[in-house]
Structure 1
Amino acid sequence: MIDSNTQDHIIALAKKAGDAIMVIYDKDFAVYDKSDSSPLTEADLAAHNIIVEGLEASSTFPILSEESASISWEERKTWDTYWLVDPLDGTKEFIKKNGEFTVNIALIHQGTPVFGVVYAPALKRTYWGSLESGAYMDDEQGTRSISAAKHKDGEAWKVVGSRSHQSPEIQALLAELGGEAELVAMGSSLKLCLVASGDAHLYPRLGPTSEWDTGAAHAVALAAGANVTVLDPNNPFDDAALALTYNQKDSVLNPYFLVSAE
């Protein structure tokens, strides 16, 4: 579906967008709202423009970005293959300056993410993956292949979650696991990548997300052998759970979902 040269180009594009974000992120700013003059909006739009220009110059596939979300369902439903982009995922992380924000670029084909790049510029960490070539991670330790790691009997469950208070639904899910559960905190789409890299077993999402928030990291998770399924809080470990899909409905909001190495 996507050759190695194209993959390299998209990775480089994500890094170029990340570099533009870092120019603004490294400034001593104190304006955190979503007004047109905020550093957050400035960084978001700078990354968006770089990515869209790069994709349009190298591909004929349409593009859906958080910054171009007004594209109608009547148009979107005709798309068989398209780029799904979040130029700056993790606005809270950007504001808090904890580094856990990302640039996300995914290729969606017939509802499934078949390739994705997740770049965390402040952490100097990149994840990418495709169904054909597997999943990879690059950081200060170098480049290496990654794969999801199933839970082993007797070890604590590593569950990705928020640093803030856990909801009753999450607490109930953890109780259903049995045994010890260790919370692994992380921001933005990096949550899905922790399961892809084997650093966590599960990521249950029982809160609102949009398709551009998850598409790229979803592709990495699938390439690493993880599953991403629709989550029913009343039956969280349903063996018949449906795969999370994209561009299959009018709304771009995701249902609740579970990322699992199981």
Structure 2
Amino acid sequence: MLETFEAAALEAGKAIMEVYRNGCQSSQKADNSPVTIADEQAERIILAHLQRDFPDIPIIAEESFAAGTIPSIEATFFLVDPLDGTREFIDRRREFTVNIALIENGCPTVGIVFAPALGIAFSGEKGKAEKLIVDEAFQVTQRIAVGVRPQPARRTALASRSHNSPQTESFLVDNAISDCTNIGSSLKFCLLAEGLADVYPRFSRTMEWDTAAGDAVLRAAGGSTVTLDGLPLAYGKRNQEHDTDFANPHFISWGGETAAPERA
């Protein structure tokens, strides 16, 4: 399955970079989030790959969802964010990513995150996570096994560049974390998976397609993502009393051996 994910992500990333180089205008969706032609082109490419190779698995994809195309799902389905970090894309920052994930029984089990402007991707499945080096021809030239690092005494946190919050600042203080790096998109999960950071607290709204692929990579690398009550973040959330379908609660992603190391 990762072969399909990889081919789809690379082709989508190539289309995104063509738009990125030429420039494009953005518009606003109903939820006031931005969308560009790159989002739409990339999603069409990814859906074509998944529907060809896995026609029986339903797909929840961000732009299709926004347009009202919402298939019924069971235990197994795909989550697709064709361009995570659209604000970074529009602002000409390079941290945007292509995200594809498989969900099984509420858990992200296979995923790929591709940052085409950076020439890197991360994939994960069944306890194996890799960093991929991608050249200008969108070919993978190197595969490097990655894994989370043990929680150090001095932890490094990651925060959203566009969606930081006072709760994040309180979390850093409460956990005696002085080092914090701001970065956009699902690359935050990948930095945890690569052992370059230790915790990513998220106290602002996300959707499942924003997090699933990066979460799959992180879990394959030995990390975890938990809600504020300590339970694993689950996927496939429908008919939620206080939010829309597929919206996530606040969560904390951890590298290292444990989900919640003792506070300093």
Tell me whether the two structures share a fold, i.e. TM-score over 0.5.
yes
| 1:252 is the counterpart of 2:249 | no
| 1:32 is the counterpart of 2:29 | no
Shift of 1:143: 1.8
Residue 165 and residue 46 in structure 1: after superposition, are their counterparts in 2 closer, same or farther (change >3 A)? closer
| 1:211 is the counterpart of 2:200 | no
TM-score for both structures, normalised by structure 1: 0.85
Match of 2:61 in 1: 65
Match of 1:3 in 2: none
- CA deviations on 1:54-84 (whole Å, 9 max, x unpaired) are 11110121111002213558x23xx111111
Gaps of 5+ in 1: 1-5, 233-240
Aligned equivalents of 2:40 and 2:70: distance in 1? 21
Identity %: 38
Match of 1:226 in 2: 223
**Matching residue within 145, 168, 171 for 2:169:** 171
**Matching residue within 96, 116, 120 for 2:91:** 96
Aligned-partner SS, 1:221: helix
Shift of 1:164: 6.2
Aligned equivalents of 1:165 and 1:61: distance in 2? 32
Aligned equivalents of 1:58 and 1:86: distance in 2? 18
Aligned-partner SS, 2:26: coil
State whether residues 162 and 184 of structure 2, in contact with CA within 8 Å, keep that contact through their aligned partners in structure 1.
no
Gaps of 5+ in 2: 135-140, 240-244, 259-264
Q: How many residues align?
A: 238
Aligned equivalents of 2:97 and 2:77: distance in 1? 20
Note the 1:58-137 alignment, pairs <5 A.
Answer: 58-59=53-54, 60-69=56-65, 70-72=68-70, 75-76=72-73, 79-132=74-127, 134-137=128-131
State whether residues 165 and 204 of structure 2, in contact with CA within 8 Å, keep that contact through their aligned partners in structure 1.
no
Output the aligned Cα RMSD: 2.0
Match of 1:43 in 2: 38
What residue identity is the alignment partner of 1:115? V
Aligned equivalents of 1:163 and 1:64: distance in 2? 26
Shift of 1:162: 3.1
Aligned equivalents of 1:99 and 1:120: distance in 2? 8
Aligned equivalents of 2:96 and 2:164: distance in 1? 21
Aligned-partner SS, 1:8: helix
Residue 166 and residue 214 in structure 1: after superposition, are their counterparts in 2 closer, same or farther (change >3 A)? closer
